[in-house]
Chain A
């Protein structure tokens, strides 16, 4: 298969000023720092790489077991294990840069200040082309409720990160809220340059033979094809609520899945757990989108974004 299916098909997209050669990224936490998958696929073909969530200090993460398979999906409770922002800049960034693919740093903090400090260090060390702010993290100063489930906390984080950096700021929304459009509007008002959605859905499983929670952390995040209809619905709702570019994800395992998100309003997509099933998943999605565009007479990805809203 080739990426140049048709000379007229242009897969490139622009997300908040970041130029991607195609609209397909790999989602945070499912692709490490890029090098892990280099033996299995051509990493340089990706539209962008989103790093594992980075925190100010190194984090050890949650006790195992951290993985539990569910119907067409999986639960994970990794718990933000990461080497910390400084080790990322020193040890992981050089190899990541060598792929010559835009790098989006996913960041997380316990406090608003921490988010801002990570953003500042990323900018001053040229550690990323854009920042993805994971607001699913618990807000330690407000009783551990996720920043992303309270519009005021979300606004505080986004404003602080925007002040700390001139890099494009993508805010990653959690689906574990009653009204995702409300949070999306709040983030837009606070100056977000783009939104990505969705993060994992909170879930749990019981190991009936050990008669205890399957995950060491009890709760975990559900991902994979099982969550796709929920994610597509949320992209649809957020598209109607804001004018920002959206990055859609949640259960993408084929180009058909990716097109659902694009037609629902996403300007780009990310493949997460789909890579676990097939390391070449993102590549198949890129090629498939190109083929679909050629077959259906679309010259630019932007011509398809949100089209399903108009064809209702």
Chain B
């Protein structure tokens, strides 16, 4: 779907992270956790910057027909987007991509979020809770003032453990240092087998991958890549993956992903 959506609400969550809520029932209706929208950031009629920016669906409310995006300003495109205001319209394509698969019955989802990577996982957690599955979330931020979406997840009923690199909130260190402990806690409490879901910086993804391969835990990770078309046409966003038969090949993050089975990714 390609459409113009009205911005219903726009506000800063931290000093560089923004939340944008859009009126777009078409997207809200079909959005699946892990999918993204491809957003035009240039002023209408301008071709600079030329390319759209992929942003995960952080929340979708079917009854209201709304979709929420949560993004961090890291460059020109996201800065332009942060300058947009409620009641303006933005041009977007979506929902796009292959999202997260639900955990198998009886499995406990362990959700590992690094920084802004919590955006697609927020939508995942809401979807899981709505079908009676309680995720265990470990969310890492560099410092307390960067913490986002945690209060909301707690309110919906998710169990959330915050980790900050400087120890200013929750436990101190990196999320990846706490995966093993969280998995053990889940095992001792619910005796359910764990399935892992992750999104975050590359270093974190690599550690998550290693942990999954070592323990045999099934994991799904949402990956990033620079994109042009967002439709699978240009082959610009590819990453190297391993197929079931053991060969390596390039797959498109935009449509084959952005969520990949962790066993299929090659160290990034």
Chain A positions near chain B (C-beta within 8 angstroms)? 29-32, 36-37, 39-41, 52, 60-61, 63-69, 71-74, 76, 78, 81, 224-225, 253, 273-280
Contacts and interface: CB of A to CB of B under 8 A. Distances in A.
A68 B234 contact: no
B250 A74 contact: no
A277 B231 contact: no
B233 interface: yes
A289 to B, nearest CB: 18
Contacts of A39: 1, 231
Most buried by B among A67, A76, A280: A67
Most buried by B among A63, A66, A76, A275: A66
A78 B47 contact: no
Given A40-B1, A68-B226, A76-B234, 5 more contacts: A32-B235, A36-B233, A69-B50, A76-B228, A277-B40
Contacts of A253: 47
A256 to B, nearest CB: 11
B2 A78 contact: no
A2 B49 CA distance: 29
Interface in B43-59: 47-52
Most buried by A among B1, B49, B232, B236: B236
Nearest to A251: B47
17 contacts: A32-B229, A36-B229, A36-B233, A41-B2, A61-B238, A61-B250, A67-B51, A69-B51, A74-B50, A78-B234, A224-B50, A273-B50, A274-B47, A275-B229, A276-B230, A277-B47, A278-B40
Interface string B13-48: 000000000000000000000000000101000011
Contacts, number: 106
A225 B48 contact: yes
A81 B51 contact: no
Given A39-B1, A277-B40, A277-B50, A32 B232 contact: yes
In the A-B complex, the 5 residue pairs with the smallest Cβ-Cβ separation, listed nearest first, are: A32-B233, A36-B233, A67-B236, A72-B48, A36-B231
Interface string B234-268: 11111110000000011000010000000000000
Contact of A64 (B1, B238, B255): B238
Contacts of B48: 71-72, 225
Contacts of B52: 276-277
B237 to A, nearest CB: 7
B93 interface: yes
A37 B231 contact: yes
